[in-house]
Chains A and B, each alone.
Chain A
Amino acid sequence: MKLTLWTYEGPPHVGAMRVATGMKDVHYVLHAPQGDTYADLLFTMIERRNHRPPVTFTTFQASDLGADTATLFKRAAQGAYDRFQPQAMIVGASCTAELIQDDPGGLASTLGLPCPVVPLDLPSYSRKENFGADETFLALTRALAHPQDRTKEVSCNILGATALGFRHRDDVAEITKLLNQMGISVNVAAPLDATPEDLKRLPAAHFNVLLYPETGEGAARWLEKTHQQPWTKTIPIGAEATREFIAEVAKLANVSPTVDEKNLRQPWWSASVDSTYLTGKRVFIFGDATHAMAAARVARDEIGFEVVGLGCYNREFARPMRAAAKDYGLEALISDDYLDVEAAIIAAAPELILGTQMERHIAKRLGIACAVISAPVHVQDFPARYSPQMGFEGANVLFDTWIHPLVMGLEEHLLTMFREDFEFHDAAGPSHHGGKATPAPAQPILEPTANAATQMIEAAQALADALHWLPDAERELKKIPFFVRAKARRNTEKYAAEKGVTQISIETLYEAKAHYAR
């Protein structure tokens, strides 16, 4: 038993729903009690889908448990087929139904439905949402894809995009455009927007492009083994990774790796002098492994940030994540406990957090700038505009969305010089963000919030128990703008600890500043 306050992933049947809802002409019959129907709103509200997810819940009740839940399931499955006439059905159990062991697959097969019925076996008490999506896509692919000739012209499939994915809709469009530019047609993109008939045609492609290993790697591996389709290993997030992806694809397709880059603006935006102030900004990165690892690379190599924390919540990818973190001189944080993540963020004292909606909450509590890079998602992560993360346009989007939360370069200087100005002060926040202007507090406030400050102080104390800030030095520290204050405090304490100084004075503060000067 494990106490959980917030969770990064839902149960595995929600992963299965992401596949079913992303696809067309599939119906999912889920043996589940009535409360499990909440999952519909994930799709209709968060993603603003204009149709009900294609899911029939058997919604058994306590009184059914003593009676015949198996018949209830059969009735629901038959009714769902009659009403929706899908090309294929998937059947499975949610956590509660798993306990009553009705065997949805076996029951459905006795009905003799005139369409393929794919049973799912998703262990609810040991696995999670991404696993559920990956398994479901694999099960459907395995059941439907059959041997056939390759297309005459070179083509590929795009694998892994689902409903409720982080920017999946736009990524697929962007990568499709890129592949077309290279003279490669897309045979099938799945699961998102594909039909079961489309899945049958998967083996006609010459190779597979895997965009989301979390939800598509199972199918990619199976297609490689069974239908000898190689798959791409590079995730095209960021300018560099996109170029690498193009090279990888060009080799698989035997086409030219030259692609027009005229719409790629990110490298120049990053090189232009206005971006100088981004140099060495401390960034903490957490999300699903694929997005987090890609973000770390962009942050360091393309924007010039310093990566001070890196991790993921999906343990399945702990190995590559640990290896990636090593490259940044870091120990990867592999955890699905958001309290652990919060503690790690407090200890790292970053200036920017690239995370999920959970980290956005943590950032808000701590008063740290934040941009969302990965699921779990919220309604805000489904923008009306085209906003991919992948490909060259994705690289542009990353630059804009990560830089936006920060205080702009010249503004930083002005804040440093005139920090006592009554309307242009730390607490007012970046001037290009609305709704934050507040008069300068008459009294020094505990920043960023009382609670967060307490936690920061506690964390700082854990780091340097013996250190004591003299009042003068503490006051001087307050004069440093908020967005670098945590770094200054941390560096000073580190410096003091190294020098064996226990009383931190103004001198210690400036000696540390000189020591760490770059």
Chain B
Amino acid sequence: MSLDTPTTGCLHSPVLRERGQREVFCGLTGIIWLHRKMQDAFFLVVGSRTCAHLLQSAAGVMIFAEPRFGTAILEEKDLAGLADAHTELEREVERLLSRRPDIRQLFLVGSCPSEVIKLDLSRTAERLNGRHGPSVRVYNYSGSGIETTFTQGEDACLAAMVPGLEETTEANLLVVGALPDVVEDQCLSLLTQMGIRNISFLPSRRAADAPKVGERTRFILTQPFLADTAHALERRGAQRIAAPFPFGEEGTTDWLRAVAKTCGVTLEVFEAVTAAPRARARKAVAAHAETLRDKTLFMFPDSQLEIPLARFLARECGMLPVEVGTPYLHRGLMEPELALLPQTVLSEGQDVDLQLDRHAALKPDLTVCGLGLANPLEAAGHATKWAIELVFTPVHFYEQAGDLAGLFSRPLRRRALLAGGQA
């Protein structure tokens, strides 16, 4: 970071709040990565054919193996009488569990239709827990599009797991947010090298490794969209460590420093552990920053990662954010980020047509948006980055900082290449 980077921040900036057509996924989409993360879990959406179609289309690819998610599709007869729907659902779950004896965690996931007809999944979960617990743990949460946007599905899922976590009186550190395994291992290694012990992750890869929580638990989020999970952990007595999110060299260092401070790690140890990976991350980012420097950036609301990523792109890659949209702005969690983000237009919620008008007027050099908008904007002459890749790609911590910058520089390099120039 250079000294002349503006540091006034966005803490007190006005926010443009919009209510109109949104162009975003619903919370069910989180199942696409959550079911890979939790290897003994099955996600059963109780919804419509639309939900099933979304899940198979959202990722753009289908997964070859029998997936660890499915949709119990509501039919006319389920809508006619509610008692019937509960029995039907229990029957489908019984069939599923008998075919997949490897399942240890079952998530009943509510959808728009199940919420509208007020199908009480907690009742079903309770009954099933009575029958199949403790070998199979049944949870329920809502991933419905009337209540959750995209990544909020993960928040709802993790929050649903918190009440069931075992109680502990020991001091421990809980790292919260579904990370790719390779990133989780890197994170664990950094923290262990600093001498921190008793570290666990939520969600864990397997049910048997589920973290414990208690009054002496400190937790830190790796993702900015986990507000409900944070509240649920606080209700269990755990205390949140506030920090920017671990994107880029600066974000990762600040994040680790906050943990180190809480856990009493000395400055010498902290420097010794982080110096080499910090230098690597800076070097890796620098290669891409050349492409990104002084380019304007427009972010459509998508994953709630927008503010931390805009901070990274502005401060470490020299980009100039002209609008940063987020589906939902949680000030409590976002305070450390907003303090770092150079002043820009912040927008919350969406009216996609109006936002497209602003976008067209600003003609940004790079646009971050969802898959529905990307090709139309490319065809209109804008370089775009699909936002969904940001949640499907390892992007956290030092070793991924260069890759993260690369996700944004590639569209610009590609356009230059296709235009006959140098990448």
Contacts and interface: CB of A to CB of B under 8 A. Distances in A.
A2 B144 contact: no
Interface string B61-94: 0101111011111111011000001001101100
Interface in A1-39: 1-7, 9-11, 13-14, 33-39
Contacts of B353: 79, 83
A151 interface: no
A242 interface: no
B26 A125 contact: no
A95 interface: yes
Interface string A116-152: 0000000111101000000000000000000000000
Contacts of B58: 38, 41
Interface string B134-161: 0000000000111101000000000000
A262 interface: no
B50 interface: yes
B296 interface: no
Interface string A89-113: 0000011100110000000000000
Interface residues of A, number: 59
Contacts, number: 189
A3 B71 contact: yes
Most chain A CB within 10 A, of B69, B74, B116, B147, is at B116
Contacts of B73: 1-4
Interface in A27-79: 33-42, 44-45, 48-52, 56-62, 64-65, 76, 79
Most chain A CB within 10 A, of B54, B79, B89, is at B54
A5 B76 contact: no
Contacts of B89: 1
A365 interface: yes
A406 to B, nearest CB: 22
Nearest to B93: A3
A10 B53 contact: yes
Contacts of B372: 37-38, 40-41, 44, 52
B112 A33 contact: yes
A396 interface: no
Given A3-B92, A99-B116, A361-B64, A60 B146 contact: yes
Contacts of A76: 21
Nearest to B353: A83
B70 A33 contact: no
Contact of A35 (B28, B88, B379): B28
Nearest to A5: B70
Nearest to A3: B92
Given A34-B145, A51-B379, A10 B50 contact: yes
A439 to B, nearest CB: 23
Contacts of B149: 34
B17 interface: no
A10 B49 contact: yes
B53 A96 contact: no
A91 to B, nearest CB: 15
B53 A35 contact: no
A44 B56 CA distance: 16
Interface residues of B, number: 64
Nearest to A365: B64
Contact of A3 (B24, B62, B72): B72
A128 B49 contact: yes
A427 B220 CA distance: 49
Given A33-B26, A41-B370, A95-B112, A49 B375 contact: yes
Nearest to A339: B66
Nearest to A37: B23
B26 A3 contact: no
B115 interface: yes
Contacts of B49: 4, 7, 9-11, 95, 124, 128
B423 interface: no
Nearest to A358: B62
B24 A37 contact: yes
Contact of A11 (B29, B50, B115, B376): B50
A364 interface: yes
A34 to B, nearest CB: 4
B276 interface: no
Contacts of B74: 1, 125
Contacts of B113: 95-96, 99
Contacts of B115: 62
Contacts of A9: 49
A8 to B, nearest CB: 10
A59 B372 CA distance: 15
Nearest to B66: A5
A41 B24 CA distance: 11
Contacts of A65: 116, 146
Interface in B1-56: 20-29, 44, 46, 48-50, 52-54, 56
B37 to A, nearest CB: 19
Interface string B208-244: 0000000000000000000000000000000000000
Given A1-B89, A3-B96, A125 B112 contact: no
A357 interface: yes
A6 B81 CA distance: 26
Contacts of A339: 66
B57 interface: yes
Given A1-B88, A33-B26, A94-B50, A62 B70 contact: no
Contacts of B54: 35-36, 38
Contacts of A38: 25-26, 29, 54, 57-58, 372
Interface in B114-148: 115-117, 144-147
A57 B147 CA distance: 16
Interface in A165-200: none
Contacts of B391: none
B371 interface: yes
B116 to A, nearest CB: 5
Contact of A49 (B53, B69, B117, B376): B376
B67 A96 contact: no
Contacts of B23: 37, 40
Contacts of A45: 60, 371, 374-375
16 contacts: A11-B50, A13-B50, A14-B50, A36-B26, A40-B371, A41-B58, A50-B379, A52-B372, A59-B21, A64-B146, A95-B50, A95-B112, A96-B113, A123-B76, A125-B76, A126-B75
In the A-B complex, list the 6 residue pairs whose CB atoms are closest, starting with the nearest.
Answer: A35-B26, A35-B145, A40-B372, A50-B379, A1-B88, A96-B112
Given A38-B372, A50-B375, 18 more contacts: A1-B73, A2-B72, A4-B52, A7-B52, A7-B56, A10-B49, A33-B112, A33-B146, A35-B28, A40-B23, A40-B372, A44-B375, A44-B376, A51-B379, A61-B147, A96-B50, A123-B76, A125-B75
Interface of B: 20-29, 44, 46, 48-50, 52-54, 56-58, 60, 62, 64-67, 69-76, 78-79, 85, 88-89, 91-92, 95-96, 112-113, 115-117, 144-147, 149, 353, 370-376, 378-379
